[in-house]
Amino acid sequence: MSKKKVLITGGTRGIGKSISEIFHVNNYSIYITGTKEIDVPDYIDGFFIVDFTNDKSVKSFLDEISKIDFDVLINNAGINIIKEIGEVSDNEFNKIFDVNIKAPYFLIQKILPKLKTNSKIVNISSIFGFVSKEKRSLYSSTKYAINGMTKSLSIELGPKNILINSVLPGFTETELTFESLNQNEINELTSLIPLGRFAKTNEIAELVYFLSSEKNTYITGQNIIIDGGFTSK
């Protein structure tokens, strides 16, 4: 039997890389996206360089993937812009919405006609799609949006037995996290997490894989938080 195929956007580092690794262990054909040329692991079957803020780049990418029948889609690519509302430019607004919500929306639209029955879609959201804080108006807006998209599409895709969920990671040990926070902020946030630490990327990947696997037969339309208890306080 041929391997099942998974497409993971933003699969070159952080949570996306860990997701690709767990699918590899479970014998999937793995296709990932990145923003620049890199040496990808040998187990990657397809690597697409795409800039989700560039319409020409996105169109070229969508044309390429339209030729492939996927079983699983993981919308993981994302960016964060931390600024007070008065400092946000039109370009920054458009950029974060292009990457965090427009790209996954139209990626689902493009591959949907070729998705098989029993296929799975997982959108990587954030706890900032459930709670928020200062200077996160842009980021939270996109993550609340993707959670709403997930719920609506679960109703639309349910009759086709295509299951779609969002995973909302808390603070996780990724490059994006460490680029966004200084050490004092990291220490302060750690003290607020009941488990007393940031998540490992593989812990997020395990949940994503379960939702994408044959073991998930009835979970759809859910925004599932995995944050070490941070939002329970």
CA–CA separation, 189 vs 145, rounded Å? 25
Residue 57: per-residue pLDDT: 97
Strands 29-34 and 120-124, bridge-based pairing: unpaired
Give this prediction's pTM.
0.96
The parent domain of residue 54 ranges over: 5-232
Strands 44-49 and 120-124, bridge-based pairing: unpaired
139 is catalytic: yes
Number of domains the chain contains? 1
Lookup result for tokens 């299951």: 163
Q: Two tokens at 17?
A: 């890389």
Say which amino acid occupies 85: I
Nearest CA to 58 among 98, 92, 85?
98
CA–CA separation, 172 vs 227, rounded Å? 8
Lookup result for tokens 């998209």: 149
Of the listed 139, 144, 209, 218, which one is catalytic?
A: 139
Q: What is the mean pLDDT of each run of 10 residues along the chain (233 residues)?
A: 91 97 98 96 97 96 93 96 96 98 97 90 98 96 98 97 97 85 93 98 98 97 98 93
CATH of the domain at 24: 3.40.50.720
Residue 1: per-residue pLDDT: 60
Phi and psi for 68 in degrees, rounded to 5? -115, 135
